[in-house]
Structure 1
């Protein structure tokens, strides 16, 4: 069984500013984790956070698609699981942009709940970054 998380967030910003927050390593570090991400298809990257008793703090990935400023996807591997994360941006007009997150390949409901909790919190941090 494989589960998929699908979330939508609306931001008051430009699609270009939101795209840069998804694809620039220094900006990603402010709302996701410190990383060596590069917006290049085939680039392997690592997100690192302080380990906890439940998690080693490491996410490894590889960029799968780059369609600036509309769509970005990459693998997201952590704790023995490997998921695919797809970000889709849509300019809604009036200075608003919809950001859709689809994370597929999740193995169980506990992991699905953890992913939903984590991304909801991180996308709240993204909102603060975009407001700067």
Structure 2
């Protein structure tokens, strides 16, 4: 029984973008571009750098860069503390980029949801799809 309580779930969202891997990488690692599709931030592409993502809803995510493989992989913590501890979230977001012809396949995995965090899990699934829509718009504008 205890194993089921400690089992963690992941949200995975994948999409192909009609942009070369270099452009997509810039959108994932440059603060002014991250702000356009994700959230306001003080991101730096340096392992160990601690930064915040500030949502339009007023929430703040505490993050730390864990992995950087230029134009391949980016991972950072995605931690949210709530006044109600049941809503606290400690997760890791990993972006994996794979060149595909003239475009790029992007996979995001957010790992660390407990089975009791159904609302956060569902919200993350919907949220990443919306973020990817905004990212697609940004890449289309950046031409």
Give the alignment's TM-score, normalised by structure 1.
0.92
Q: Which runs of 4+ in 1 moved over 3 A?
A: none
CA contact (8 A) 2:97 2:105 kept: yes
C-alpha separation in 1, matches of 2:124 and 2:19: 25
Paired residue secondary structure (1:42): coil
CA RMSD of aligned residues (A): 1.0
Count of residues in Structure 1 that have an aligned counterpart in Structure 2: 127
Q: Indicate the residue corresponding to 1:85 in structure 2.
A: 93
Q: Which has the higher Rg, Structure 1 or Structure 2?
A: 2
**Matched position secondary structure for 1:13:** coil
Q: For 1:1-132, what aligned pairs fall within 5 Å after superposition?
A: 1-51=7-57, 56-79=58-81, 80-93=88-101, 95-107=102-114, 108-132=117-141
Normalised to the residue count of structure 2, the TM-score between the two structures is 0.85
Alpha-carbon distance in 1 for matches of 2:135, 2:8: 28
Structure 2: runs of 5+ lacking an equivalent = 1-6, 82-87
